[in-house]
Amino acid sequence: MRRTDWLFLLLLVVTVAGVAGALYFSETETERGRRLEATGPGNGATAGTALVGGAFNLVDQDGNAVTENDLTGRWTLIYFGYTFCPDVCPVTLTNMATAIEALGTAGNRVVPMFMTVDPKRDTVESLKEYSVHFHPRTRFLTGSEEEIDRAMKAFRVYRAIRAEEGNENYLVDHTSILYLMGPDGKFVTSFSHATSAAEMTDRLRRLL
Ligand code: NI
pLDDT digits (tens, 9 = 90+) for 132-143: 999 999 999 999
Q: Is 173:30 a contact under the CB 8 Å cutoff?
A: yes
pLDDT value of position 33: 47
In angstroms, what is the span from residue 84 Cα to ligand 1's centroid? Answer: 8
Asked, for residue 199, whether it belongs to a domain, the answer is yes
Asked, for residue 47, whether it belongs to a domain, the answer is yes
pLDDT value of position 62: 98
Number of domains in the chain: 1
Asked, for residue 146, whether it belongs to a domain, the answer is yes
In angstroms, what is the span from residue 178 Cα to ligand 1's centroid? Answer: 12
Query: Cα angle vertex 147, ends 63, 132, to 5°?
Result: 35
Asked, for residue 10, whether it belongs to a domain, the answer is no
| CA-closest candidate to residue 111, choices 103, 119, 120, 122 | 103
In angstroms, what is the span from residue 192 Cα to ligand 1's centroid? Answer: 12
Q: Is 142:58 a contact under the CB 8 Å cutoff?
A: yes
In angstroms, what is the span from residue 9 Cα to ligand 1's centroid? Answer: 41
| CA-closest candidate to residue 116, choices 62, 156, 60, 39 | 60
> What is the rounded average pLDDT of the residues 33-45?
48
Q: Residue 26 pLDDT > 70, yes or no?
A: no
In angstroms, what is the span from residue 66 Cα to ligand 1's centroid? Answer: 22
pLDDT value of position 127: 98
Asked, for residue 9, whether it belongs to a domain, the answer is no
Q: Residue 38 pLDDT > 80, yes or no?
A: no
Confidence of residue 34 (pLDDT cuts 50, 70, 90): very low
pLDDT value of position 32: 46
In a 13 Å sphere around the CA of 181, the CA atoms on its Cβ side amount to 24
Of residues 44 and 146, more confidence is placed in: 146
pLDDT digits (tens, 9 = 90+) for 161-193: 998 777 888 999 999 999 999 999 999 999 999
Question: CATH no. for residue 185?
Answer: 3.40.30.10
Asked, for residue 13, whether it belongs to a domain, the answer is no
- Domain region containing 179: 29-207
* For the chain, percent of residues with pLDDT exceeding 90: 72
In angstroms, what is the span from residue 173 Cα to ligand 1's centroid? Answer: 7
Residue 91 phi, psi (nearest 5) = -65, -45
Q: Lowest mean pLDDT: which of 32-46, 51-65, 113-127? A: 32-46
Rounded Cα distance between 126 and 60, Å, is: 11
Confidence of residue 2 (pLDDT cuts 50, 70, 90): low
In angstroms, what is the span from residue 176 Cα to ligand 1's centroid? Answer: 7
Asked, for residue 162, whether it belongs to a domain, the answer is yes
Asked, for residue 8, whether it belongs to a domain, the answer is no
| Whether pTM exceeds 0.85 | no
> What is the rounded average pLDDT of the residues 57-74?
97
pLDDT value of position 23: 42
